[in-house]
Amino acid sequence: MPHKIIIDTDPGIDDAMAIAYAIAHPDIELLALTTIFGNVRTHEATRNALALLEHWGATADVAEGESAPVAITANEPGYLVHGRNGFGGVEIAASSRPAHDLDAAQYMIEATRRHPGEITLCAVGPLTNLARALERDPDIVSRVKAVVVMGGAVHRKGNVTPVAEANFWNDPHAADAVLGAGWPLVLAPLDCTMPVLFTPDYMEAVARENPKLGKPLSEMAAAYSRFYRSHLGLGGCVPHDVMAISWLTVPGAFRLQKGALAVIADGPAIGQCIFQPGGTKSRATIFDGRPDHLVMVDTDPALFLADFMAVMTRHAA
């Protein structure tokens, strides 16, 4: 049976990679993209989501989400990393299709009511929409099949501050609420994303194997790689958001730890994800009453890269 998924997204170059993978994978049924601020502003994320789906011939719904964090003033979008249009300057024609009548949080609530126990929420941006869904309908935790979140840094340093990853930094209160909820959750932090690099040669091969999906991704990756080269000295780009989707289809590529998670919501460590391994205790009261979740703490890059290429090749055929 295919994985029914909703991707909560702020497209974004690595978001586009994750969306392409979901469209291409034969075992994934992409129900919807719900949009959020982060790499771009929310209305720009909605535009980008609709444009990608039309460009790639996919018919999933698009539901627009929250335009500001739960409690903090919104940070500037990640234009430095993803370009002013979110795609590194690569032009994807706008779609004339409108967004869904429901907002993102309500869309998740209604979809899980229609398909209880069947839908996985794959959140690859700030977690504001998921936090709002929890506020409106706490019972959603019992109706989702799973929640997979790309965000945080557990044993690694952050990517926007020494301790914070961008998605959690952009709405720490939402991230803390989502990680503290009792739904079955898997976290894909920087620990599992940073070991993987999409090199220019690799992305050119993806474009050759699957021109429709791969060519725009290769062009976006070239711009993304310029950021990684200039800021981190890397010879490619990191496909962070793909991890939240590939966990469903190639879980053997990841090493897991189990434990409780929390997010610091203010002060100099705002956005920091902290982790208490399962079976251990500490004097940190922040973990009191919190469930243990699974954390993807490392990746087999060869297996991950082989799977991504195989999915793209299979779809092209």
**What integer pLDDT is reported at residue 1 of this predicted model?**
79
Segment holding 63, helix H or strand E = strand 61-64
The single residue of 8, 10, 103, 307 carrying the catalytic annotation is: 10
One-letter amino acid for residue 196 of the chain: V
Higher pLDDT, 279 or 237: 237
**Segment 283-287 long-range contacts (CB within 8 Å, at least 24 positions apart):** 286/262, 287/260, 287/262
Segment holding 161, helix H or strand E = none
Report whether 155 contacts 113 (CB < 8 A). no
| pLDDT tier, 124 (very low <50, low <70, confident <90, very high otherwise) | very high
One-letter amino acid for residue 33 of the chain: L
- Closest by CA to 177, choosing from 132, 111, 222, is 132
One-letter amino acid for residue 131 of the chain: A
**What integer pLDDT is reported at residue 87 of this predicted model?**
97
What's the pLDDT tens digit per position in 298-310?
999 999 999 999 9
**CB-based contacts of 228, cutoff 8 Å, min separation 6:** 234, 236, 237, 238
Alpha-carbon distance 45 to 63, whole Å? Answer: 10
**What integer pLDDT is reported at residue 49 of this predicted model?**
98
**What integer pLDDT is reported at residue 281 of this predicted model?**
86
- Is pLDDT above 60 for 79? yes
What's the pLDDT tens digit per position in 134-181?
999 999 999 999 999 999 999 999 999 999 999 999 999 999 999 999
The number of C-alpha atoms within 13 Å of 162 and in the hemisphere containing its C-beta is 2
What's the pLDDT tens digit per position in 16-39?
999 999 999 999 999 999 999 999
Average pLDDT over residues 203-221: 96
The single residue of 173, 240, 293, 315 carrying the catalytic annotation is: 240
**Which structural domains are found in the chain, ordered by start?**
3-316 (3.90.245.10)
One-letter amino acid for residue 126 of the chain: P
**139 annotated active-site:** no
For the chain, what is the mean pLDDT?
96
- Is pLDDT above 90 for 92? yes
What's the pLDDT tens digit per position in 54-72?
999 999 999 999 999 999 9
**What integer pLDDT is reported at residue 277 of this predicted model?**
95
Q: Which two tokens stand for residue 250?
A: 């190639």
**What integer pLDDT is reported at residue 314 of this predicted model?**
81
Average pLDDT over residues 279-290: 91
Order of all β-strands in the sheet with 28-35: 61-64, 28-35, 3-9, 119-123, 146-150, 185-188, 292-299, 254-263, 273-277
**10 annotated active-site:** yes
Please give the biggest Cα pair distance in the chain.
56
pTM for the whole thing?
Answer: 0.97
- Closest by CA to 263, choosing from 85, 128, 90, 136, is 128
